[in-house]
Structure 1
Amino acid sequence: MSPHKTLEVKNLKKHFSLGKGKTLKAVDGVSFDIYKGETFGLVGESGCGKSTTGRTIMNLYNKTDGEVIYEGQSVHHLSEKEQFLLKRRMQMIFQDPYASLNPRSTVAEIISEPMEIHNLFSSNKERMARVYELLEEVGLNRDHANRYPHEFSGGQRQRIGIARALALDPDIIIADEPISALDVSVQAQVVNLLERLQDEKGLTYLFIAHDLSMVQHISDRIGVMYLGHMVELTSSEQLYDKPLHPYTKALLSAIPIPDPDIEDQREQVIIEGEIPSPIDPPSGCVFRTRCPMAMDVCAKKAPVWQEVEKEHYVACHLYNDEIVDPEEAKNQQHKMKVTIQ
């Protein structure tokens, strides 16, 4: 029996008009599926479009093109009432736990607000009982309910944000870099909390981050984005054991290994130059201007999205026998041989 698809993202595009004929292509044709109960990691450098992807899926941004399908139904063609009900099923945790919380509201007011909007409880007493329950679930307690966001640490504020996301008992949570603003010592605590809640409640996560080591720990499958495009997608284990795309290899080689003997032997792949502007992206393959394995064809044609191995997808000419001779591809890959220990 094939796994159940909770979310399907098909050729999603989000372009921002800047005036004077200029367009910023933040997300430019991204496709992936998320299965029920899994954590799908979405990674890439800052500015690659991963957060915009998450916000467009949530309908915080209106899509330019493509489609997002939740439980078999397009989220873009729903009535106002259906959109309202959908928001109960899909919730978001934001990157900055302070900016996403109303500084003038108490913790109890922040967590109970979604319940009031959706009329989940008939009395304030019932809502407060649920608030106390949620605070306990995220590692806080009822004594925190009447305090304000500025009275908490960054990790505690993110726990409040998680409690708010859980208030409507959602099926899927989009976590937009939920740990990047936290101290390293707190990051693991928040990730462990998210994993525990997933086990207890059967949650599905889209986990957006730029820290590949943390994404490897929490994700079942990982998609790698670059300049608005998906360049590789496979299981977490396969991505780290056998990365295919040159960009993925470079990102993985930059992860420090806490063993000097292994770290000294490992080849570091350094990506030259700055990420191009999404206002004027390169022709052909968007990564070619920084790719140490770029060929002439990379400037002429955009690589096709293809399944190179079972459940391992990549957009790179090196793996298309119709475009590049296998022997030439092998020679190019030899230039960038990297061992991920």
Structure 2
Amino acid sequence: MTARVLQINHLYKQFAVGKGSVLTAVNDVTFHVNKGETFGLVGESGCGKTTIGRTIMGLYDKTSGEVLYDGRDVHELDNKEQFQFYRTMQMIFQDPYASLNPRSTVKEIIAEPMEVHGMYTSKKKQLDRVIELLEEVGLNRGHAERYPHEFSGGQRQRIGIARALALDPDFIIADEPISALDVSVQAQVVNLLKKLQAEKGLTFLFIAHDLSMVKQISDRIGVMYLGNMVELTSSDSLYENPLHPYTQALLSAIPIPDPDIEDSRERIILDGELPSPVNPPSGCVFRTRCPFAMDICAEQKPAWKEVETDHYVACHLHDKAKA
């Protein structure tokens, strides 16, 4: 049986937004990530996927629920244990322009985590490791003394990846690492992550809004909508048999590079605007945009159920399945 390295149980994350109002960014989300796999987390901007990543890392405090890594809740660790935890789990941030210190050289950016954790007593060994990391991500020794503004977006993201690898982590949260990059560069970065995973046995939580790119790297995919997990299954199953109307709409928006197929297929256009997470719809949060909404959708929140083997969905269209 494959070991579960990360287990999220009934996670809630709320933010106070003034005048007594509360924004529920993550609403009762449960999933797990197996050791060595890539778990994709997808959905529109504002659906809560980045908040989940930051809460897992401890950058946000949880409101309730559990974030278990190797069986221990990361939000219950003391300072010493949390310090060690950050050697095990690292994060690649979305914006390669904002996530690198413009006043530091590439060498200093990558070496900083090593210095904080006291990995090397010798500056030469530390520099040798920095150069090794640069080469692993497709850069070279000549880039070490340069500053972030001297690089392209793709190169900056490679620097961010090298920094994330500096502490030899086992688990990496990649928070939309390709969204700010050109399409051709996106594929290069995804291929780099797959290569590093194969070489180092890494586990990834890959956060993105582009389902077509997520399929190329993910073993399983969870679909988020307005803070809720609405569907979860293997990558192949999600693309071959999407069960939730929201997932179906997302998949229909992916362009197909064949004019005959693209022109003849049905495109699902969702009506209305994304509701406010401060005042979400009653029952099913997707019902205001769902073409199949029923009366029960406004009255009851759909249960999270396994409709097929390892294929979970929260939708009243599948209420006959065993919850």
Preserved CA contact (<8 Å) 2:305 2:321: no
2:59 is matched with: 60
- How many Å apart are 1:14 and its aligned residue? 0.9
State the partner residue of 1:300: 299
Over residues 193-215 of structure 1, what are the superposed CA-to-partner deviations in whole Å (9 max), with x where a residue is unaligned? 00000000000000000000000
Matching residue of 1:208: 207
Contact 2:306 2:321 in 1 (8 A): no
Residue pairs, 1:21-100, within 5 angstroms: 21-100=20-99
Give how far 1:28 is off: 1.0
TM-aligned CA deviation for residue 191 of structure 1: 0.4
> Where does residue 181 of structure 2 map in the other structure?
182
Aligned to 1:112: 111
Structure 1 residue 123: Cα displacement = 1.4
Q: Which amino acid aligns with 1:245?
A: H
Question: Normalised by the size of structure 2, how large is the TM-score?
Answer: 0.99
1:294 partner SS:
coil
| Alignment-derived partner of residue 265 in structure 1 | 264
Alignment of 1:289-328 (within 5 A): 289-321=288-320
Structure 2 distance, partners of 1:205, 1:240, is 20
Structure 1 consecutive aligned stretches of length 4 or more whose deviation exceeds 4 Å: none
**Structure 1 residue 321, shift from structure 2 partner:** 2.2
TM-score by length of 1: 0.93
Q: Does the 8 Å CA contact 2:222/2:232 hold for their aligned counterparts?
A: yes
Query: What is the deviation of 1:4?
Result: 0.5
5+ residue gaps in structure 2? Answer: none
Match for residue 144 of structure 1?
143
Once the two structures are superposed, residues 134-156 of structure 1 have per-residue CA deviations (whole angstroms, 9 ceiling, x without a partner) of 00000000110000000000000
In 2, distance between residues paired with 1:263 and 1:156? 33
In the TM superposition, what are the counterparts of 1:225-240 in structure 2 within 5 Å? 225-240=224-239
Distance 1:206 1:322 in 2: 28
Give the deviation of 1:260 after TM superposition: 1.1
In the TM superposition, what is the alpha-carbon distance from 1:261 to its structure 2 partner?
1.1
**1:304 counterpart letter in structure 2:** A
TM-superposition CA deviations, 1:243-273 (whole Å, max 9, x none): 0000000000110101111112211110111
Three-state SS of the structure 2 residue aligned to 1:76 is: helix
% identical aligned pairs? 73
Matched-pair contact (CA < 8 Å) for 2:41–2:222: yes
- Alpha-carbon deviation of 1:45? 0.5
For the residue of structure 2 that corresponds to 1:213, the secondary structure is helix
Instruction: Tell me the SS of whatever aligns to 1:289.
Output: helix
Amino acid corresponding to residue 238 of structure 1 in structure 2: S
* Letter in structure 2 aligned against 1:223: G
Question: 5+ residue gaps in structure 1?
Answer: 324-341
Aligned residue for 1:19, secondary structure, equals coil
Task: Tell me, in whole angstroms, the C-alpha distance in 1 between the residues paired with 2:124 and 2:13.
Answer: 43
DSSP-derived class of the 2:288 partner: coil
Q: Residues 5 and 322 of structure 1: is their aligned pair in 2 closer, same or farther, counting only changes over 3 Å? A: closer
C-alpha separation in 1, matches of 2:140 and 2:18: 50
